[in-house]
Structure 1
């Protein structure tokens, strides 16, 4: 098991992985909250438990001045430079393990890209009161060992979250657990909130 991150914490991915890190995978997992319906709000989303929750993981690429260079999400599963790949959209959160994964070939990320910001949005529009057991984790793509995990289970009225930033600093890749909540069905709607973290 990797290190369990707290909000705001920064780590060196290479040190935690024991060096020689060339590929990482950002995994996102969640479950639809059970038995949270009832009352006035229950009817809002069609009542009963077992509804599908479509959380979407995205990766936004930024250059040094903070300009958006590219976005990897369910409508564009690969970055234009092909260094980052989304494994595909999961629309329910059902099943064990990661529900969505974004694979990053760190060695192939273009030199002008300084930061990779990972977000999660509820495309179906429900807020996070309908989500439980949500997490994101960074896996060493070479041996599938977990480097770090960040628990996203902060239920509330937000529909999106800026999960984490993976960025270059002093010749190595680091990770910053951001954990800032927001609103929006797509990552683009979070851009004003992401800017201060770049």
Structure 2
């Protein structure tokens, strides 16, 4: 049975959330939404007339340094522990089985947590609107995280995000001794692309690290 935690309160270990900590699926599902271009924008490519949302998982070491980014430009990390299942350009180009409320998600990133290298201590889950169309412009859509038994721990409704949000730090996984701790961030970022968003998250993670105590 699917479980959904209240968005503002979600911060717990995967076991505490009732999830199978072996495999997680960070996924996106939204309805094809055409954007009407005005003026000179009509000269742009047709692909820019539809909302294109991308997902990414960014892997960081203990110093909050970026080790890998898994996204449409790099479909897996070096250890092949995080795998992007393929890019959708507009929410309908992957067929009827991968459209809104269909059996498959348009985009999905599979995280095999038991295969993630030991030096990786943080994983950021990020969403970005490729053409900078606000997420809230979609007709309908959501971002969610589930385990391989279909249990969901959160769903982010794209329509409920701030009106100008085009890049979102969705969630954060932090390695613990024998589990991972999940926090739903739901934090808009000023970055216009995934690479810059990854750097902004690195800065935020570093700020949150404990301050070393003098001996």
TM-score bracket for the superposition, by shorter chain length? 0.7 to 0.9
TM-score by length of 2: 0.76
Mapping 1:60-71, distance limit 5 Å? 60-71=58-69
Paired residue for 1:96? 100
Change (3 A) 1:63 1:5: farther
Instruction: Give 1:132 shift.
Output: 4.4
Change (3 A) 1:5 1:69: farther
Structure 2: state its 5+ residue gaps. Answer: 43-48, 93-98, 207-215
Paired residue for 1:3? 4
Q: Which runs of 4+ in 1 moved over 6 A?
A: none
CA RMSD for the aligned pairs? 2.3
1:196 aligns with 2:204: yes
Change (3 A) 1:5 1:26: farther
Out of 147-156 and 56-65, give the one that drifted further.
Answer: 147-156
1:140 aligns with 2:135: no
**Contact in 2 for aligned 1:53/1:131 (Cα 8 Å):** yes
Q: Deviations over 1:159-181 (max 9, x none)?
A: 21111112212421121110111
Instruction: Give 1:118 shift.
Output: 0.6
TM-score by length of 1: 0.82
Query: Matches of 1:133 and 1:146 in 2, distance apart?
Result: 21
Query: Matches of 1:92 and 1:129 in 2, distance apart?
Result: 15
Task: Count residues in correspondence.
Answer: 186
**Contact in 1 for aligned 2:135/2:165 (Cα 8 Å):** yes
Out of 161-170 and 76-85, give the one that drifted further.
Answer: 161-170
Instruction: Give 1:6 shift.
Output: 1.1
Change (3 A) 1:132 1:8: farther
Q: Deviations over 1:29-74 (max 9, x none)?
A: 223557x86xxxx62665xxxx421100001000111110000000
Rg larger for: 2
2:155 pairs with one of 150, 155, 167: 150
Paired residue for 2:30? 30
1:43 pairs with one of 31, 38, 42: 38
Instruction: Give 1:134 shift.
Output: 3.3
